[in-house]
């Protein structure tokens, strides 16, 4: 239910931290876009092709991340915020629909969906907060509006020809990422105050957990779709079970082993909110690569393993673990070295793995992931630095 008008648009710290049903629906739409990104990756396993998919996936993720931050700072039960969520869902559908044919005519759909989503959100917030008289929040939204307008110039310019200008789009995406890291420095307004990042509840941690768990489902979804298009023999069944096992192991590494974001302690308050988009982007790329790898492995589990396949099979889970490692390191200043050690083990067989069946390589990588969970001492994970503190206004 919504409340009347724009009252109390800024979220109360003592309010509910549960995600709304509209936010969960918003997540589902983005997970569909993630699955399409994995499919796109399997179709062009070259460095330029992978770079293009990475850029598109980053844009999709950034839209989700900024919108999730919006529902953390503002009350998602209010009508303007619900309108923002609906617009973001429409934008995500547009981006997802444009992915398969973005180089052959759908680039304008992708660009309009991305730029339109961000500018619409900022304009709605600035307008609603102006009438509400909340100056600090309005200045925050104005900073976002300024920088998304700047990057929007490059997004639009890069979409004016028949094919995307990937260089201009890369500049635009870099502007979005760097501006956020620098706290959106804006003429006459300065940067977003650090205190606003410290004003974080358990809601944001729950949002990241929910998204990652849904995203991990793509690791089993894509190979199931692959199997549904052909016969299911013994080796394909092994590959499918390996995909399921890998999905569960990555979930354990992220969620069960203190991967969730909850309250932070001490001077680290505010750091999780600022760092989570970047470290989770690394994890998300790992999920997309892992899903793409099992799509290929289930399709052809026997024969030799091409080099691009090796990079996906070994590199996908490695990226996910590296993302979790970086998040733990940057937020809590603790180095979970055992994570890196176990993930390096599959690299020892890399010189010979090219001559092995893809399903065997996937099984070895899954065994390396199991070491994170099963080996004694793997539970020495810090939790205080991963917790967000609840502070006052």
DSSP annotation string for 167-222: HHHHHHHHHHHHHHHTT--BTTTBSPPHHHHH---HHHHHHHHHHHHHHHTHHHHH
Percentage of the chain surpassing pLDDT 90?
49
Residue 120, domain extent: 21-192
User: How many CB atoms within 10 Å of residue 316?
Assistant: 26
Return the pLDDT at 133. 79
Confidence (pLDDT) at 262: 39
Give dist(CA 80, CA 279) in Å, integer.
29
229 and 185 assigned to the same domain: no
Last residue of a domain, one of 168, 192, 216: 192
Q: Residue 262 carries which DSSP code? A: B
Q: What is the pLDDT of residues 331-372, one digit of tens each?
A: 766 666 666 666 667 777 777 888 899 999 999 999 888 887
Q: With pLDDT > 70 as the criterion, what percentage of the chain qualifies?
A: 83
Q: Say if residues 265 and 384 touch (Cβ distance below 8 Å).
A: yes
Is residue 100 domain-resident? yes
pLDDT at 276: 85
Q: Is residue 197 part of a domain?
A: no
For residues 15 and 215, the model is more confident at 215
What SS3 state is found at 354? coil
Three-state secondary structure call for residue 389: coil
Q: Are residues 166 and 218 in the same domain?
A: no
Instruction: Give how far Cα 159 sits from Cα of 14, 39, 101, 156, 163, Å.
Output: 44, 23, 14, 5, 7
Cα separation, 23 vs 205, whole angstroms: 14
- Do 259 and 283 fall within a single domain? yes
Question: Would you place residue 259 in the very low, low, confident or very high pLDDT band (cuts 50, 70, 90)?
Answer: very low
Q: Domain check: are 168 and 208 in the same one?
A: no
Name which residue leads in pLDDT, 55 or 258: 55
Q: Quick check: 383 pLDDT over 70?
A: no
Q: How confident is the model at residue 196 (pLDDT cuts 50, 70, 90)?
A: confident
Do residues 69 and 175 both lie within one domain? yes
Coil, strand or helix at 263: coil
Please tell me whether residues 239 and 304 are part of one structural domain: yes
Q: How confident is the model at residue 2 (pLDDT cuts 50, 70, 90)?
A: very low
Region 185-196 average pLDDT: 90
Q: Angle at the Cα of 35 (from 30 to 36), degrees rounded to 5?
A: 95
Which pLDDT score is estimated for 387? 39
- The pLDDT assigned to 159 comes to 93
pLDDT at residue 15, as a whole number: 62
pLDDT score at 201: 67
Tell me the pLDDT tens digit for each residue of 288-345. Answer: 999 999 999 999 999 999 999 999 999 999 999 888 888 877 776 666 666 666 666 7
Say if residue 75 is in the same domain as residue 187. yes
109-118, 144-153, 349-358: least confident range: 349-358
Query: Please, which residues bridge with residue 74 across strands?
Result: 10
Long-range contacts at 127-131 (CB < 8 A, ≥ 24 apart): 128/6, 128/9, 128/80, 129/9, 131/6
Tell me which residue of 248, 232, 252, 229 sits closest to 240, measured CA to CA.
232
Q: Where does a domain end: 192, 213, 243?
A: 192
Residue 295 near residue 314, CB atoms below 8 Å? no
């Amino acid at each position: 239910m919504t409340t009347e008008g724009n009252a109390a648009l800024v979220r109360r710290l003592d309010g509910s931290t549960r995600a709304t049903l509209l936010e969960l629906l918003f997540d589902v739409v983005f997970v569909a876009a993630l699955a399409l990104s994995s499919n796109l990756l399997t179709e062009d396993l070259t460095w330029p092709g992978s770079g293009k998919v990475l850029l598109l996936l980053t844009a999709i993720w950034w839209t989700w991340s900024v919108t999730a931050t919006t529902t953390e700072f503002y009350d998602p039960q209010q009508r303007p915020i619900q309108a923002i969520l609906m617009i973001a869902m429409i934008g995500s559908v547009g981006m997802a629909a444009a992915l398969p044919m973005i180089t052959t005519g759908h680039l304008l759909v992708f660009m309009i969906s991305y730029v339109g989503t961000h500018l619409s959100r900022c304009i709605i917030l600035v307008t609603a907060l102006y009438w509400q008289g909340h100056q600090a929040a309005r200045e925050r939204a104005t900073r976002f509006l300024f920088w998304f307008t700047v990057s929007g110039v490059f997004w639009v310019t890069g979409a004016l020809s028949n094919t995307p200008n990937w260089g201009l789009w890369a500049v635009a995406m870099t502007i979005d990422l760097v501006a956020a890291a620098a706290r959106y420095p804006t003429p006459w307004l300065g940067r977003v105050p650090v205190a606003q990042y410290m004003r974080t509840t358990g809601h944001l941690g729950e949002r990241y957990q929910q998204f990652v768990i849904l995203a991990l489902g793509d690791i089993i979804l894509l190979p199931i779709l692959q199997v549904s298009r052909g016969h299911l023999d013994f080796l394909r069944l092994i590959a499918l079970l390996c995909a399921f096992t890998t999905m569960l192991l990555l979930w354990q590494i992220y969620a069960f082993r203190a991967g969730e974001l909850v309250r932070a302690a001490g001077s680290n308050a505010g750091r999780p909110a600022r760092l989570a988009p970047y470290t989770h982007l690394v994890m998300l790329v790992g999920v997309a690569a892992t899903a793409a790898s099992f799509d290929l492995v289930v399709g052809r589990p026997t024969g030799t393993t091409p080099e691009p396949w090796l990079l996906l099979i070994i590199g996908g889970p490695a990226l996910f673990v590296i993302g979790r490692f970086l998040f733990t390191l940057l937020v809590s200043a603790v180095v979970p070295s055992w994570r890196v050690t176990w993930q390096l083990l599959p690299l020892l067989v890399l010189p010979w793995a090219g001559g092995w069946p893809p399903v065997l390589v996937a099984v070895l990588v899954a065994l390396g992931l199991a070491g994170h969970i099963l080996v004694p001492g793997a539970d020495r994970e810090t939790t205080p630095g991963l917790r967000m503190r609840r502070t006052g206004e």
